[in-house]
Amino acid sequence: MDRTYNSPLTPLTLLARSAAAFPDKTAVVHGTRRYSYRDFEDRVHRLASALRAAGLQPGETVSFLSPNTPEMLEAHFAVPLAGGVLGAINFRLGPQEIAYILNHSESRFLFVDREFAGLIAPIAGSLETVQRVVAIDDDGPLGALEGVPGPDIKLMAYEDFLAGATEARVELPLDDDDKTYSLNYTSGTTGKPKGVMYTHKGAHIHALGEIMEMGLNPYSTYLWTLPMFHCNGWGFPWAVTAAGGTHVCLRKVEPSTVLELIEREKVTHLCGAPTVLIMLASDPATRDRKFPHPLRIVTAGAPPSPRIIQTMEEKGATIIHVYGLTETYGPHTICAWNPGWDALDFAERVRLKARQGISYSVFGETRVVDADMLDVPRDGTTLGQVVMRGNNIMKGYFKDPEATAEAFRGGWFHSGDLAVMHPDGYIELKDRKKDIIISGGENISSIEVENALYQHPAVLEVAVVAAPDEKWGEVPVAFVDCKPGLAPTEGDLIGFCRERIARFKCPKRVVFGPLPKTATGKVRKFELRAAVRSDTGTPM
């Protein structure tokens, strides 16, 4: 590659630039720890050097099982700098699921926060490729990790591992920016999780897209309420660093702690699924408090209800609604705000903001198509599948060419999400293909039913799924978690829906109680479907 006009794209150059431009500026905050950009870059190079000194070979996976700590942030640059592939693992998975990912990704190095030692101890003997476990001692002793090593596994502490660095700076002779940068595993709710491969180029471009769409700059302070293991934190490890902003790390999302950090660190941006917004809006410690300064909250996952958008904006936040998948590095579309909408009444503005929008400016294309790959009419009512292509689409599934070919059929990535296309070119999700309810031959959007229920003042969270029915084939069943101290009846909620949506769309049954969720805050609808199929009404 002639670098005169075509240098490889990689997030590694973004860190180098910010360290040169802002060496003394605070880059990372975690409790009493504060690192400047000079410190941050130095620690990244030490970790990269230590990995090479320990025998990491090009293209090998280095896995991290850690909350949002500085060590996890350092890994997002150091592992690829050393020539490896970062595997950030969901720490809310079970031991056997973690063992599958470690073995499938052929990880030789595993970095584990002490809090999750109990997940590794039961599977240490079944790890096929792991040769070294490095303990991240963020807030206490190594604990149960002392019992993890098997006959072929070495254990050491993170800072001791850094001490093994042999070079002050590490250079990566990158000549192909399509090389794999990180490996992110899907949730695996319909089978074994698949390893989604991100590239150096894709990660670099994704970072630029987040900077542009979110308004990141050196004055930005980002609070880590979104897990870094989820789509590499939607690209924000790279984007905030590229902008010269400040990362505020956070081990666990607790509403009172989040508000305290927003106030103390003057946080300007955070991300989270709608469940995080619901926590901030309903927790007694934060319910009646407004944000002390302008705050941008980026939300995605399950489509946020108009009511939660309204609640958060009344607290002083600006909600930025995005949509994407693991296979698109996280966000792919954004409900880009049209200044002409400012004059609309509040309810209409909230309705517009609940849509998933259009592609990021630097990513690529988004379409809604029928079974023949033809665009559906832009009428806001005709359903089709969302397909995408562009710079932020995955390289493919690791060691799974068949699944990759199926996902990329016709030259587009097939999301599995059903949506409509509005006349202005903005998409609006209606359901996952597997979540659409077909009752008496009529399609029912579970999202439409959920949004009707969210308007009830007693409803905190809701999920609607299809239940088998002898007469209609399928009927909607609603699972509802109510606000503390409020207890509507099943009849109350069904009657409430009948006042707002067609009678055939209303739930035929309501089950009350907390909703099961994934690590990223999405409702585990497959458990709810299993519950109604077994006729227990209780999630597994």
358-390 residue pLDDT tens: 999 999 899 999 999 999 999 999 999 999 999
Give SS3 for 42.
Answer: helix
Strands 384-390 and 413-421: antiparallel
Q: What residues form DSSP beta bridges with 322? A: 334
The yes-or-no answer to whether 22-168 and 201-432 have a common fold is: yes
**Are the CB atoms for 432 and 385 separated by under 8 Å?**
no
Q: What CA–CA distances, in Å, run from 276 to 271, 280, 285, 331, 522?
A: 9, 6, 14, 17, 10
Q: What CA–CA distances, in Å, run from 335 to 41, 281, 413, 429?
A: 34, 22, 20, 12
* Average pLDDT for 418-445: 84
The whole-number pLDDT of residue 464 equals 94
Higher pLDDT, 213 or 275: 213
* Average pLDDT for 518-527: 76
The whole-number pLDDT of residue 540 equals 43
* Average pLDDT for 298-310: 80
How far apart are alpha carbons 281 and 283 in whole angstroms? 6
Run of H or E including 438: strand 437-439
- Give CATH superfamily name and number for 201-432: ANL, N-terminal domain (3.40.50.12780)
The whole-number pLDDT of residue 141 equals 47
Could you give the percent of the chain with pLDDT greater than 90? 70
Tokens 């807030």 correspond to 139
Q: Is the pLDDT reported for residue 304 higher than 80?
A: no
538 pLDDT tier (thresholds 50, 70, 90): low
Q: What residues form DSSP beta bridges with 512? A: 480
Q: Is the pLDDT reported for residue 51 higher than 80?
A: yes
How far apart are alpha carbons 71 and 351 in whole angstroms? 40
**Are the CB atoms for 148 and 121 separated by under 8 Å?**
yes
Closest by Cα among 177, 225, 180, 232 to 210: 232
**Are the CB atoms for 243 and 269 separated by under 8 Å?**
no
**Are the CB atoms for 239 and 360 separated by under 8 Å?**
no
Can you give the pTM of this predicted structure? 0.85
**Are the CB atoms for 47 and 86 separated by under 8 Å?**
no
What amino acid occupies position 92? R
Q: pLDDT of 254-292, one tens digit each?
A: 999 999 999 999 999 999 888 788 888 888 888 888 899
How far apart are alpha carbons 333 and 395 in whole angstroms? 19
The structural architecture, per CATH, of the domain 436-533 is 2-Layer Sandwich (3.30)
How far apart are alpha carbons 480 and 471 in whole angstroms? 25
Label residue 188 left, alpha or beta by phi (over 0 means left) and psi (-120 to 50 means alpha). left
Tokens 């907390």 correspond to 514
Q: pLDDT of 443-461, one tens digit each?
A: 787 888 998 999 999 999 9
186 pLDDT tier (thresholds 50, 70, 90): confident
Buried b vs exposed e over 125-134: b needs ≥16 C-beta within 10 Å?
Answer: eebebbebbb
Q: pLDDT of 23-40, one tens digit each?
A: 999 999 999 999 999 999
The whole-number pLDDT of residue 100 equals 93
189 pLDDT tier (thresholds 50, 70, 90): very low
The whole-number pLDDT of residue 152 equals 63
Higher pLDDT, 100 or 306: 100
477 pLDDT tier (thresholds 50, 70, 90): very high
The structural architecture, per CATH, of the domain 22-168 is 3-Layer(aba) Sandwich (3.40)
Sheet arrangement for strand 364-369 = 364-369, 384-390, 413-421, 427-432
Q: State both tokens at 37.
A: 């950009």
> What burial class does residue 500 get, using C-beta atoms within 10 Å of its C-beta: 0-12 exposed, 13-18 middle, 19+ buried?
middle
Domain range summary for the chain, segments of one domain joined by +? 22-168, 201-432, 436-533
First to last CA, the chain: 54
Q: pLDDT of 322-338, one tens digit each?
A: 999 999 999 999 999 99
Strands 358-359 and 330-334: antiparallel
* Average pLDDT for 192-217: 96
150 pLDDT tier (thresholds 50, 70, 90): low
Which of 146-160, 203-217, 273-287 is predicted with the least confidence, judged by mean pLDDT?
146-160
How far apart are alpha carbons 477 and 256 in whole angstroms? 34
106 pLDDT tier (thresholds 50, 70, 90): very high
> What burial class does residue 486 get, using C-beta atoms within 10 Å of its C-beta: 0-12 exposed, 13-18 middle, 19+ buried?
exposed
Ranges of H-type helices in 2-36: 11-21
**Are the CB atoms for 64 and 72 separated by under 8 Å?**
yes
**Which contacts of 489-496 are long-range, i.e. CB under 8 A and separated by 24 or more positions?**
492/456, 493/453, 493/456, 493/459, 496/452, 496/453, 496/455, 496/456
- Mean of all residue pLDDT scores within the chain: 90
What amino acid occupies position 107? S
Please report the sign of the dihedral spanned by the C-alpha atoms of residue 440, residue 446, residue 452, residue 457: positive
Label residue 186 left, alpha or beta by phi (over 0 means left) and psi (-120 to 50 means alpha). beta
